[in-house]
Chains A and B, each alone.
Chain A
Amino acid sequence: MKLELLGHLILTVAIFGSLFLFVAYAVYFERKVAAKMQNRVGPDRVGWYGLLQPFADILKLLLKEEIIATQATKFVHTLAPAISVIMAFITFAMIPIAEGFYIADINIGMLYMMAVTSIGVYGVTLAGWSSNSKYSLLGSMRASAQMISYELSMGLAVVGVILITQSISVVSIVESQTENILYWNIIRQPLGFLIFWIASFAEANRLPFDLPESEQELVGGFHTEYSSMRFALFFFAEYTHLIVASSILTTVYLGGYQIPFQSFLFPGLDGWWLVSAQILTFILKMCLFVFLFMWVRWTLPRFKYNHLMELGWKYLLPLGLLNVVLTAGWLLIYDGF
């Protein structure tokens, strides 16, 4: 019993530790991707090809002076970044990165993930409100409105998957896709995938849905009044969201850790080799989504508030409902009532 607990603890630390590392390097990756798209070189001074840049950034932010606006509500002001970053992190607990490798598998895993990401919005909203600045307030107002609109569509998109799987557990969702590549939910639920993907842009506060921070008109929005490590936490939370959103997309729609065509390509794989290969597959799939997020960010303009609402309520929500009805109807016919 004790040994099992210890093993679990080590796994937890390992997963969260590597998540930290991934988030740090997501920033580096983003800067390199942006640089490539903009005819620039990107960070290349610190370390080999600038690979130590994330640590230099963190160190710089740690050493900066911490400024709290005099009119800010101090307790909430301090609490907000913590909420953001913690909620972003604990979402990852549900995600299996290889067969049997996950921090927790609860029978309502999908619900848990939706719930926790919703709480994450509080971080942004409270930050804007407690800063007592008009720009921040506008940013946090946008954040809360945006999250409500997109959570709904996201939830509806997931309902389709849940109907197919007949389970809300994340592990079961992944295992239901392991048969072969045709069983991936992206094939079985293309509309649901599209809705979920668009909504996860809004969830992760990424362009074209980064209205809460829109640096052009709101000059950073909810985190305008933050500096030093508190700002770094928001920054961290944003990139954690990016990684987590990509992981969720991988898990729910791209067969999670499943290696495509495994029985053809690597028939004799088992034991630790299999686990490593699965982890690698998972990381590659996740990186694909991370790259897509970045590609979109450095290409598209930003939505306007009213168009964002329009897209959320007039298009994604009805489409989500349609997806649920179609999936349910198909299941009813397929399973023969």
Chain B
Amino acid sequence: MSELKKQPRTTDELLRLLEDEHTFVTLEGEGDALDTEMVINMGPSHPATHGVLRVVLKMNGETITRAIPELGYLHRAMEKLAENKSYHEFMPYTDRLDYMMPYSNNVAWCLAVEKAAGIEVPERAQVIRTLACELARISSHLLWLGSMVMDTGALTLFLHTFREREKIYDIFDLLTGARFTVSHSRIGGLASDLSPEALTALKSFIKQFPAHVQSWEKLLNRNKIFLQRTVGIGYIDGDLAVDMGLTGPNLRGSGVEWDLRKKMPYLKYADLQFDIPTSADGDSFSRYWVRMQEFYESVRIIEQCLDKLAPGPVRVDFAKQVYPWKSEVYHTMEGLIHDFMLTDWGVCPEPGQVYQAIETSKGELGFYIQSDGTGHPWRMKIRSPSFVNLQSLPYLLEGSQMADTVVIIGSLDPVMGEADK
């Protein structure tokens, strides 16, 4: 209490008095003899920080001299929670990691568990997973596009991208039964097969979607103001990007051709024809450009997946490790017993450790599972791309302008649910 009564003399002192000591970010040690610099607190509640990212900025006029991101406002202890959940029970939690593309998170989690338990997923399930992951990538990139362009000040495009996202939500609704948090993947397969209605909706979507992307590119690619806001803003070169641990479009925007779909293929990606768009400029515009090209690539992948879609089972028929179908559970004794056992004990992988990563729209999303042979992980670690990508934020922000902050954050495309876990 005595500290509160003390009159603050400097800005830092005032901040220290106002802040809880655990959330206090120190911005000391720079020579600012004339006291011309201003500390400005951006977030955690700020319209352009994409959730609850907090950045403390030290500004000299409109120029940022230092930036310190402060994460953890959306921390829900996912990794600790996983230790007390069976592998299946953790599935809905992955939906809430990167809530822009829940399907990819489900798949990443399932792939990790399947690798640990040594389960081979049927062909058709893999194709549907691949296809839905790409659909999720489009959905996530759509939100990124809308919000990044909105951060530069053009509001209308956001609504246009949401019109397209709405169609994807509808497809997910038909495919999985849920629009947003899908939880559709299962360990050893899928919850349900791709219905004919979903297939029709998907086909009509990918038929008209590239034309929309083209129209947006027409609006933005040569727009003088948009170029001024993005070209040369938030520059990071390829080597530094690798050192910082950037992955995904942020890394490819710096000219490094690294995509897990090609380099460490999972699902059906090894059999598919697609390119990895890269751009060596390393600025916000090149990150924008890479993502725009990925729209077309994703559509290409979905088209090929539709060709590969052959009839077959979508879940492994092995009730010791994989949930039996409900028809079996309701009508046979063995099915019911296995359902109980799996719900109670769950999949029990051999003791050991496993790491499985997939390429999501943000970058490398990896799950590290250490199993002690029981039904829940002894330790689980999420390698979330948003968290690692945000590491480059201070480097990118320093020396740029106040108005650039929102564009740079937008071009990095972080999702706080994933960054804070």
Q: Which chain B positions have C-beta within 8 A of A40?
A: 159
Knowing A134-B40, A135-B40, A300-B225 are in contact, say whether A305-B156 is a contact too (CB < 8 A): no
Report B200-240 residues with CB < 8 Å from chain A CB: 219, 223, 225-226, 228-229
Q: Which chain A positions have C-beta within 8 A of B404?
A: 304
Among residues of B, the one whose C-beta sits closest to the C-beta of A305 is B62
Q: How far is the CA of A303 from the CA of B163 in the complex (A)?
A: 26
Cross-chain contact A302 with B402 (CB below 8 angstroms): no
Knowing A39-B160, A305-B62 are in contact, say whether A219-B403 is a contact too (CB < 8 A): no
Q: Which chain A positions have C-beta within 8 A of B132?
A: none
Q: How far is the CA of A208 from the CA of B155 in the complex (A)?
A: 11
Q: Would you call A276 an interface residue if the criterion is a C-beta within 8 Å of the partner chain's C-beta atoms?
A: no
Produce 1/0 per residue, A297-337, CB < 8 A to B: 01111111111000000000000000000000000000000
Of the candidates A138, A217, A305, which one forms a contact with B406 in the assembled complex, judged by CB atoms under 8 Å apart? A217
Knowing A37-B156, A38-B156, A217-B405 are in contact, say whether A303-B48 is a contact too (CB < 8 A): no
Knowing A134-B40, A138-B62, A217-B48 are in contact, say whether A305-B402 is a contact too (CB < 8 A): yes
Q: Would you call B393 an interface residue if the criterion is a C-beta within 8 Å of the partner chain's C-beta atoms?
A: no
Q: Would you call B352 an interface residue if the criterion is a C-beta within 8 Å of the partner chain's C-beta atoms?
A: no
Cross-chain contact A207 with B153 (CB below 8 angstroms): yes
Q: How far is the CA of A42 from the CA of B168 in the complex (A)?
A: 24
Cross-chain contact B223 with A300 (CB below 8 angstroms): yes
Of the candidates A134, A135, A218, A299, which one forms a contact with B156 in the assembled complex, judged by CB atoms under 8 Å apart? A299
In the complex, which of the residues A142, A214, A215, A301 has the most CB atoms of chain B within 10 Å of its own CB atom? A301
Q: How far is the CA of A218 from the CA of B47 in the complex (A)?
A: 9
Q: Which chain A positions have C-beta within 8 A of B179?
A: none
Q: Would you call A216 an interface residue if the criterion is a C-beta within 8 Å of the partner chain's C-beta atoms?
A: yes
Q: How far is the CA of A135 from the CA of B402 in the complex (A)?
A: 11
Q: Which chain B positions have C-beta within 8 A of A210?
A: 153
Cross-chain contact B160 with A305 (CB below 8 angstroms): no
Report B388-421 residues with CB < 8 Å from chain A CB: 401-406
Report B37-68 residues with CB < 8 Å from chain A CB: 38, 40, 46-48, 62
Q: How far is the CA of A38 from the CA of B226 in the complex (A)?
A: 19
Cross-chain contact A301 with B40 (CB below 8 angstroms): no
Among residues of B, the one whose C-beta sits closest to the C-beta of A40 is B159
Report A202-223 residues with CB < 8 Å from chain B CB: 207-208, 210-211, 214-219
Cross-chain contact A302 with B153 (CB below 8 angstroms): yes
Q: Would you call B341 an interface residue if the criterion is a C-beta within 8 Å of the partner chain's C-beta atoms?
A: no
Report B129-175 residues with CB < 8 Å from chain A CB: 149-156, 159-160, 163
Cross-chain contact B228 with A216 (CB below 8 angstroms): no
Q: Which chain A positions have C-beta within 8 A of B226?
A: 301
Q: How far is the CA of A299 from the CA of B223 in the complex (A)?
A: 11
Q: How far is the CA of A34 from the CA of B152 in the complex (A)?
A: 17
Q: How far is the CA of A193 from the CA of B160 in the complex (A)?
A: 33
In the complex, which range does the number of interface residues on chain B fall in?
A: 20 to 34
Cross-chain contact A306 with B401 (CB below 8 angstroms): yes
Q: Which chain A positions have C-beta within 8 A of B223?
A: 300-301
Q: How far is the CA of A304 from the CA of B404 in the complex (A)?
A: 8
Cross-chain contact B403 with A304 (CB below 8 angstroms): yes
Q: How far is the CA of A147 from the CA of B406 in the complex (A)?
A: 24
Q: How far is the CA of A64 from the CA of B223 in the complex (A)?
A: 40
Cross-chain contact B40 with A208 (CB below 8 angstroms): no
Cross-chain contact B225 with A302 (CB below 8 angstroms): yes
> Chain A nearest CB: distance from B284 CB in Å?
12
Q: Which chain B positions have C-beta within 8 A of A304?
A: 228-229, 401, 403-404
Cross-chain contact A302 with B160 (CB below 8 angstroms): no
Of the candidates B46, B219, B228, which one forms a contact with A219 in the assembled complex, judged by CB atoms under 8 Å apart? B46
Among residues of B, the one whose C-beta sits closest to the C-beta of A302 is B153
Knowing A300-B154, A301-B152, A302-B153 are in contact, say whether A138-B229 is a contact too (CB < 8 A): no
Cross-chain contact B155 with A298 (CB below 8 angstroms): yes
> Chain A nearest CB: distance from B119 CB in Å?
44
Cross-chain contact B153 with A307 (CB below 8 angstroms): no
> Chain B nearest CB: distance from A194 CB in Å?
15
> Chain B nearest CB: distance from A296 CB in Å?
10
Q: Which chain B positions have C-beta within 8 A of A134?
A: 38, 40
Among residues of B, the one whose C-beta sits closest to the C-beta of A138 is B402
Of the candidates A34, A216, A305, A307, which one forms a contact with B47 in the assembled complex, judged by CB atoms under 8 Å apart? A216
Q: List 7 A-B contacts (CB under 8 A).
A: A38-B159, A134-B38, A216-B406, A299-B156, A301-B154, A302-B403, A307-B228
B residues whose Cβ falls under 8 Å from a Cβ of A:
38, 40, 46-48, 62, 149-156, 159-160, 163, 219, 223, 225-226, 228-229, 401-406
**5 additional A-B residue pairs with CB within 8 Å, beyond A135-B40, A301-B149:** A214-B153, A216-B48, A216-B152, A216-B153, A301-B225
